[in-house]
Structure formats: C-alpha cells, structure tokens
Structure 1
Amino acid sequence: MKSVIEITQTVKNWLDPKNPALQQAVDKTVSEGLFSAEDIQHQLSVLRGNVESGDIEEWVKRVGLSDQTHAKGNKVLCLHAGNLPLVGFQTALGVLLSGADYYGKLSRKDPYLLTSFLEEVENSGLEQEIQFSTDLNSFGDLEADKVIFAGSQESVPEVKKEINKLNVAKNDAKYIIRTAKFSIAYLDQWNESTKRELAEAMLRYGGKGCRSVAVVVADFGLEDVKAELKQAIRSFWKENPQHEKPMPELKYQYAYNEGIQRNQLWLEDFLIQETDELPETDFTVNWVKGDQEKARELRMKFGEVVQSVYTTDTEIDGLKTEPLSQAQKPPLYWKPDGVDVVDKLIV
C-alpha cells in the first residue's frame, strides 16, 4: 500500500533529530515541567529504533493490511492519556495505518509532542482526515464509528456519558477501552543485566506506564538483594533525574510497614515492600518471594489491570511473557491490554 510507505517516511522525517518542530515541542514540554528531557529522549530513541528495525512494515504484515483490508471511511476518535511522553503515538499511528480518519483528543499533560507528529502528517498531504484538540467539545456531533480510550476503569462511565451528551460518537459506536495499570516481572536470576533491566522497568517515567513493573516475583527475597538493588536504583536516578515527586502517602506506607515489621527498601522517593497485595500507591513496587506458580497465580488474581509479565529468559507455562529488557522498549506492534488497535479497526 502506497500510504504505508508515505506514513513510514513521514514518521522518519518527524523523528529526525534535526527536525525543528519536534525540537520545539520537546523544549516546550520540558520547560513547562510536563516530562523530563531524559524520558522524552528515551521515548524518541526507542521510536527511532522501532522504525529503523522495520516495525511499521512488520505491523502491517501481522494484521494483514492491504488495499482490500482496511478501515477507510471510518471515523475514529482517540482519547489519549498523558501519563507518559508520546503515550498516544502508537494509537495515532495505528489509526493512520488502518486508513481511517483520525480525530484525537489530546491530553493537556502532553499537548505538544503528539501535535508535532500530527502536524507533520498533515503537511505530508496524506488523504485521510486529521483533526486534534485538547478539548472534547471540539468534536461535537462528530458521530465517530469507533472510540479508543485509555484510562482507568472507574472513569469509563463518565467518559461515555460526556461522549453521548456531545454526540461525539454514534449510538452503536464500537469502544476499544484500555485500562491495564501495571506489569509483573518474574526473576529467577540476579546479575548485572537483571539489575539494570529491572531498575529501568520499575523507574522509567516514574513507574507511571502500564508496562512499568509494579510487582516483582522472585526466587529470592528482597532482603537477599536489598543492597545491590538500592545501588542499581541510585545509578538509574543519577542518569535519569526524577521529574515528579511522590505524594505524602508514600511516607505513610513506609511508617505502616515499619509498624507491622514488613521488610522494605525505603529510598525516600521510592518504596519497595514485601507483599503480594494489589499495588495501589504510585512510586511503590511490591516484592514477592515465589516461584513460577506464584507469578502465574498473581497474574490471574490481578486480572485485567496487568499489562504484561516479563522474564529474563525463562518461559512460564500457561503465560504469555515478554523479555524484561523490552519492558520500556516495546516494538511498535505491541498490544496494549492484549489488543492490536489496527486489527480492531479493520474488523
């Protein structure tokens, strides 16, 4: 398909480090304190690697996109999250690849980076309709055929209510909803690469993404690796200064753990604690001493809020796993909530 070639080249042009529009978007994002320069450059570096590795072509191949199989003529509304820099890029790219018309409600927490990409697409002369705004009211009476929403499960009813009030989507519109919150890592080895990969998986973007590790199941206890883990975290922070500061409840949790004598690693801005409870506090990771069966048990117990299960090089029977090294470096065709957005759009 000719458009796939055009879109790929447009993405490459946009990602060019010398692109002034992208650099301006990065500078504004950093100057307004929305995301750190380190996290933005990490994301851009991953995307550049994805494109150079042929991820766009591979994605098209996997879903069977062709001149006969596409979503042309459909209006797709994307309600993008803003918890990570460019978190909505994959969705926007998927809509464009599908051939559908793209309407994006951008997050006010990340208004510049994705805009710079969409403006690049507009200037490329692609035939699809492209509209975007940080205000949902801009899409009144749109009557979209499909809606892609990323957020918490609790917010879904209110979002649908607002969409219905503004007639943004058709009454029978199909909703593609993403609500996964965190990922799990299973460790059966402890070496230098594991320490680096785990620190990246837990700490990148402040642990805000659904691919971020919030539960670690390991063959060894937290006490066994506490000193080395602390050093690995300090090293990561030295290279990637924290952007957001934790909320006060983190200190309350630390004090509570002290009171019940729960083993923990307290780093003032981050807490790792030994418990198999559902992780609910930001800047916190729950550590569980257990085997593969325990990792499988927790994956089933936590259900749909889990995005991925990572391992070093171990396979876990009955579970789909991904390499820990790719936790914050996924391919473009990875599936949020286990769903391929392009595949859903062309159905």
Structure 2
Amino acid sequence: MSWLKKHIECVRQAADKWLNPENNVLQEAIRKTGDEGLFSRQDIEFQLSVLRENIQNNEIEQWVERAGLSDQKNAKDNKVLCLHAGNLPLVGFQTALGTILSGADYYGKLSRKDPYLLGSFLDGISKAGLDQHIQYTTDLSDFKGLQADKVIFAGSEESVPDVKAKVTDLNATKDEAKYIIRTAKFSIAYLEDWNESINQELVQAMLRYGGKGCRSVAVIVADFGLEEVKEELEEAIRRFWSENPQHLKPAPDVRYQYAYNEAVQRKQLWLKNFLIQESEDLPDTDFTVNWVQGGDEKVSKLKTKFGRKVQSVYTTGKEIAGIETEDLSTAQRPNLWWKPDGVDVIERLIK
C-alpha cells in the first residue's frame, strides 16, 4: 500500500473514532466547553454533525484528490505552525486536518476560547500511528525556537503585524518561512427569488454561531427591497431564536444604530437583539446585516469595494460572471475543501 493510501486511511479512521457520539473523550471536551460558557451545546453539536456528514461522504478522499496530494507531492519533513482562531467551535479543525493530511509536522497554537474540542481531536489523531509529529498548546511561547517552515494564521487583519513580531521574537520560524494569512470577515448572499426554503437558509447563514464566522452572511443583495419580505423574515428569525436561544443576546451597539436609522428614516427590520438595515456600508457592527437592493452587478461592485474582508458569495443557483459562488444552503455546512480566503490548505502546503 502506498504512503498516501495508508495515510488517508489512518486519518479517516481516527476522525471516525473521534466523531463517534459514544467517544467519551469528545463528550468530556463538549462538557468542559459548555460548562465554561465558551460555546453552546447546540452550536457544538451542529458543527459536529456537519463534520460527520463530511467524513461519511468521503470528503477527505475528495479533498486530497482536488489538492493534488500524492506520494511524490506532499509536505513531509516540513514543520507547520498553525495559529488557530477561536470565534467558532472547532473553527481550526479544517486547518489542522489539512496540515495533517499534507504529511507535514503539525504544531498548533489553540485559542483559549476553544481549547478542548480541537485538542480532543488532536489527542486522538496523535495515537493513529501517523509518521509525523503532532503537538499543540495554548501558549505560543511553547514553540520558542521551533524554526517552522510555514505558518498558518487566522484572525483579524489588524493583528497580523503583532503576530508576526511575536513569532519572530520567539525564533519560532525560519527566516524564509512562508505565511498563509486568513483575515476574511463576512460573506455576501445574492437573492434573485424568495420562498420559504430560501428564507430558512438565509436565517441559518446569518445567525448560526451568532453570525461571527467569515462564512456568516452580513450583506444581502436582492432583486427586491427589505420591505417586501420583512414579515416573513422576522417570523423565521424568531423561530430560529426559539430553537437556538443561545444566540438571543443583548446587543447595545445595535440600539444606537436603530435609533439613528429611525431618525434618518432608513428602512430596517429591528428585533431588539438584531438589526437588518438597508445600507451599502461596510458591515462592521455585530448583530447587524446590511440589505442592498440590486442585481449581480451590485454584488460585483460590493465585493470589489469590501475586498479581502469578503469570504464567500452565496447564491441560490445564479452564476455571476467573474465571481466564484457557492450555494446558500452550504453557508454553514461547507465541504471539507472549502477555501478560507480563497486558499486550499493542502494545496498551499505541498507547493
């Protein structure tokens, strides 16, 4: 059996074992995460259900094939330092999995906001008999003198200089180390039509995980105005909150924006803890989504305007010239091979 086939099989078996609902190690990680108020059990279980579906659909194998990983083309003997974000439960899973699949030695700095879930996976994968080093910590200084070949960082654009300075001070990378930086903030949805199914998919895309992920919709471009669907959208949002009460949190900044909108007579959907407003501005306030009436040309214009802050553009089947789009239904249920900031982890690591 070739190295790659054996490698994939080991990773696949370890992932299956970890994702098993009867895995006590995973259940303990879920319990700790919930008890410390890091993430809700509903969001954790939702994320795990997506990953189980990904693995069961042979997406590990498909991802490897798409990326061009092979016995001859891999990242073996490379040290990869992964600096994971912690804004969503298991947000670093794809990066960790991709790094391990590439054959590189994995060194992960886990976020203190999500240390248990990803850690439980890494504990399991380290026992799978893989021919590579796997190490993780929540303290970057543990990697002093590491001399990594590549660094993968996910976080805010503003923090990039500080992160690079810290890594350099620790001598954690080689002088010629390559950085893979991910700083996208939000996604855009384009709606040509409106029906109950689209309504539900849009609400899930906006509200799951409190709308904090880069795949979360913060800008909606539609062929129709907000007023035309306001009542149906409000009902769907309230229904989502009744099923996911963990997302119903106070949002003081939104109150001020609501008051301003009232004063200038801007059309909006105000739900006290969440606001959808007609605006073409950059969506930089939590719990706020901007609605823009327009067609695919407007989508292209806004994507250019917001630049690297945009992760994905979702549609309900519409193709937009010059823009790679994804189906709205996959916003919070992406394939394993989705590309944060347009980058395939495995593909970049094996170059």
Report the TM-score, using the length of structure 1 for normalisation.
0.99
Q: Please, which of 67, 70, 74 is the counterpart of residue 66 of structure 1? A: 70
SS of the residue corresponding to residue 329 of structure 1 reads: coil
SS of the residue corresponding to residue 242 of structure 1 reads: helix
Note if contact 1:39-1:204 (Cα within 8 Å) is conserved in structure 2. Answer: yes
Residue of structure 1 equivalent to 2:299: 295
Residue of structure 2 equivalent to 1:31: 35
Deviation digits for residues 33-89 of structure 1 (CA, Å, limit 9, x no counterpart): 111111101100000000011100001111111111100000000000000000000
Q: What is the CA–CA distance in structure 2 between the aligned matches of 1:251 and 1:232, rounded to whole Å?
A: 21
Q: What is the CA–CA distance in structure 2 between the aligned matches of 1:160 and 1:74, rounded to whole Å?
A: 19
Residue of structure 1 equivalent to 2:192: 188
Note if contact 2:251-2:274 (Cα within 8 Å) is conserved in structure 1. Answer: no
Residues 202-221 of structure 1 mapped to structure 2, 5 A cutoff? 202-221=206-225
Deviation digits for residues 255-283 of structure 1 (CA, Å, limit 9, x no counterpart): 11111111111111111000010100011
Q: What is the CA distance between 1:243 and its match in structure 2?
A: 4.2
Residue of structure 2 equivalent to 1:142: 146
Residue of structure 2 equivalent to 1:53: 57
Greater shift, 245-254 or 60-69, is seen at: 245-254
Residue of structure 1 equivalent to 2:183: 179
Residue of structure 1 equivalent to 2:115: 111
SS of the residue corresponding to residue 55 of structure 2 reads: helix
SS of the residue corresponding to residue 280 of structure 1 reads: coil
Residue of structure 2 equivalent to 1:200: 204
Note if contact 2:251-2:273 (Cα within 8 Å) is conserved in structure 1. Answer: no
Tell me the C-alpha RMSD between the 2 structures: 0.9
Q: Please, which of 6, 9, 33 is the counterpart of residue 13 of structure 2? A: 9
Note if contact 1:246-1:282 (Cα within 8 Å) is conserved in structure 2. Answer: no
Q: Please, which of 244, 250, 253 is the counterpart of residue 254 of structure 2? A: 250
Q: What is the CA distance between 1:247 and its match in structure 2?
A: 3.9
Q: Is 1:328 the equivalent of 2:332?
A: yes
Distance 1:156 1:254, change over 3 A: same
Greater shift, 209-218 or 163-172, is seen at: 163-172
Residue of structure 1 equivalent to 2:308: 304
Q: For residue 179 of structure 2, what is the amino acid of its counterpart?
A: Y
Q: What is the CA distance between 1:246 and its match in structure 2?
A: 4.2
Greater shift, 77-86 or 294-303, is seen at: 294-303
4+ residue segments displaced more than 6 Å: none
Q: For residue 256 of structure 1, what is the amino acid of its counterpart?
A: Y
Residues 245-284 of structure 1 mapped to structure 2, 5 A cutoff? 245-284=249-288
Note if contact 1:210-1:307 (Cα within 8 Å) is conserved in structure 2. Answer: yes
Q: For residue 334 of structure 1, what is the amino acid of its counterpart?
A: W
Q: What is the CA distance between 1:245 and its match in structure 2?
A: 2.6
SS of the residue corresponding to residue 269 of structure 1 reads: coil
SS of the residue corresponding to residue 150 of structure 2 reads: strand
Q: What is the CA–CA distance in structure 2 between the aligned matches of 1:246 and 1:150, rounded to whole Å?
A: 27
Q: What is the CA distance between 1:244 and its match in structure 2?
A: 6.9
Greater shift, 240-249 or 49-58, is seen at: 240-249
Q: What is the CA distance between 1:291 and its match in structure 2?
A: 1.0
Question: Percent identical across equivalent pairs?
Answer: 66
Distance 1:290 1:215, change over 3 A: same
Q: What is the CA–CA distance in structure 2 between the aligned matches of 1:313 and 1:122, rounded to whole Å?
A: 41
Deviation digits for residues 191-231 of structure 1 (CA, Å, limit 9, x no counterpart): 01000000000000000000000000001111111110000
Residue of structure 1 equivalent to 2:160: 156
Note if contact 1:201-1:324 (Cα within 8 Å) is conserved in structure 2. Answer: yes
Q: What is the CA distance between 1:242 and its match in structure 2?
A: 2.5
Residue of structure 2 equivalent to 1:314: 318
Residue of structure 2 equivalent to 1:345: 349
Q: What is the CA–CA distance in structure 2 between the aligned matches of 1:66 and 1:246, rounded to whole Å?
A: 50
Residue of structure 1 equivalent to 2:130: 126
Is there any run of 5+ residues in structure 1 with no aligned partner, and where?
none
Q: What is the CA–CA distance in structure 2 between the aligned matches of 1:244 and 1:121, rounded to whole Å?
A: 36
SS of the residue corresponding to residue 310 of structure 1 reads: strand
Residues 93-112 of structure 1 mapped to structure 2, 5 A cutoff? 93-112=97-116
Q: What is the CA–CA distance in structure 2 between the aligned matches of 1:270 and 1:335, rounded to whole Å?
A: 28
Note if contact 1:246-1:283 (Cα within 8 Å) is conserved in structure 2. Answer: no
Q: Is 1:166 the equivalent of 2:170?
A: yes
Report the TM-score, using the length of structure 2 for normalisation.
0.97
Q: What is the CA–CA distance in structure 1 between the aligned matches of 2:250 and 2:294, rounded to whole Å?
A: 28
